[in-house]
Structure 1
Amino acid sequence: MREREIGTALLAWYDSHARALPWRIGPAERRAGHRPDPYRVWLSEVMLQQTTVAAVRDYFHRFTSRWPDVAALAEADDGEVMAEWAGLGYYARARNLLKCARAVVADHDGRFPETSAALLTLPGIGPYTAAAIAAIACDEPATVVDGNVERVTARLFAVETPLPNAKPELTALARRLTPETRPGDHAQAMMDLGATICTPRNPACGICPLRLFCAGHASGIATELPRKLAKKPKPTRFGIAYVGTREDGAALLERRPERGLLGGTLGWPGSAWTEATPAPAPPAAADWRESPGAVRHTFTHFHLVLTVLTARLPAGSNPERGHFVSRDNFRPGDLPTVMRKVHDLASRALLTD
């Protein structure tokens, strides 16, 4: 059967070429009887959503050093977790990490459920993450489909339907490939193949372990797959950020609402982000001055341009919004990327003032 031959060839390649990742139990360790930790699998999968392996490594090491298991994370301070997450983006993931950890401790005695169906009942765990944890940590033959798997599957079966319309077909084909034995290693092998050989551009077909089975390669269209529908251009939104500091170095910051973009994170007070630059509405009375230039940042669905206003606030300042954070307790690195850009622009402006 073709699917079985593909699976055998893929696992043979994985046994020799698996990536060494800090959250992974490799094939040699599996053979020696070591089992993946569901906590580390879960944490890595959440971090890796919309983010690269290279970007996640350091974050994963810091998280697991501070919170080595799900019980420790469940007891963590929300603000400290959000600060450690700063820069990874998609901050709803960090909020859901805490909700999920606390649910695992409160409702499951600190142990992750062992089936994808049960995992789906936890906060912030969707079909992909549930399947990944169940397959990798619990040996359930769940089908794990990320971008790498979609690309490998589209090329293997020469699926020319463009994404995202092709997702159901690709998931069904990936399910046909999912084995009853070593499903976790199979899932990770598909991911590794897509990340290292069956890459989006210039795939290394000459050394691919599945080349003889690949309909896309045989048809000469592998590099064109998966096809994608044209994306709509992103709109641009505008806003104002206010960087206020007291003479003692304390910074005026505010925590954003739990819901919405950058929800729950600490940042500079600012306006709504709208189609035109809004009218100024400073958080405190002061001589606010516009910094030269602007902060530009791109989110998933739009580009953002921020005007940055700075001011020295008097010692007895009573802001209408936000709260002061002392110089000793303020770390720019704890801010989301766009807020760090605001800080950097304001700092340059103040140095030249």
Structure 2
Amino acid sequence: MRYLITGTAGFVGFHLAKRLLEDGHSVTGFDGMTSYYDVRLKQMRHSILERHPNFTAVIGMLEDAPALKNAANERPDVIVHLAGQAGVRYSVENPKAYFDSNITGSWNVLELARTLDVSHLMLASTSSIYGANQSIPYSENDRADEQLTFYAASKKAMEAMAHSYSHIYRIPTTAFRFFTVYGPWGRPDMALFKFTKAILEDREIEIYGEGRMSRDFTYIDDLVASIVDLSRIVPSEANRVKTAAVKDTLSAMAPFRMVNIGGGQPFGLLEFIEVIEEAVGKKAKRKLLPMQTGDMEKTFANADLLVALTGSKPQTSLEKGVRAFVDWYVREGTSFEFHTLPPAS
């Protein structure tokens, strides 16, 4: 099949494109190469993909509708929209970057899907959407109207816009909500990258929320496997889940579905740090700090719908996944710059 993936120079997009190319598909990758973090890391990811004859790279911003349209010259069967302004905390400092990319840019993707009449549109959402929700574990059917950051709000807006397009234009659409993805080639602004780098350089690690936070960590290979499985399950009444114990999110008005991708096994932040210490072979110098604005104290996925649809869920142990990241970091990741922010506009 022909795939158009936005964000192929990013962490998730790189791994998904690599898997699809290895499976025999053709992939056009669209990416803006923004400077939110070290661009050299993005360039290296793309250079690996470009070794494959069935990969085509197009550089452009999501806000640039003509550039995005140019990436679809091969008329893709499936669009996987992974690009966007990442980072929860940065959205407090520069919300406009999130509006431009995650709302305006996502609307451009919806328009492209409409004009191309694709067989399946897939959208990357986030567990941050659950915000102030008090129901644990987070289920796709939970009320999610109290986002704590503009990042989460921009993703919720994307989901709502996508449902309207799915209803009006009958675009089969799956929105999947990620839960703290990690692994080799990960982002330098994420905790695993920052902690590993600091420990190896004998610097303090900053632990927000005094270590009370917990996260449902998802290893990148598991995430990609779930996306690939879901890509084959085009939302329709024919595949509505009818098991009494699982409530499907398939819309009554549109071929639209939301699915959590997470293992349903949260780990405390201090436990996470201990796993990193074991993999690195060195103790961390810890600095406990208060909770930051917009941080969620806990994330915890209910993966019942994912299992009902695909028969599986993320299962890689935290120890195995962290070890894989540390091995990659020591081998290839030490030269990349720490999290850098462009100026707010």
> TM-score, normalization: structure 1?
0.23
The structure with higher relative contact order (CA 8 Å, sep 6+) is: 2
Higher percent of residues as helix: 1
> TM-score, normalization: structure 2?
0.23
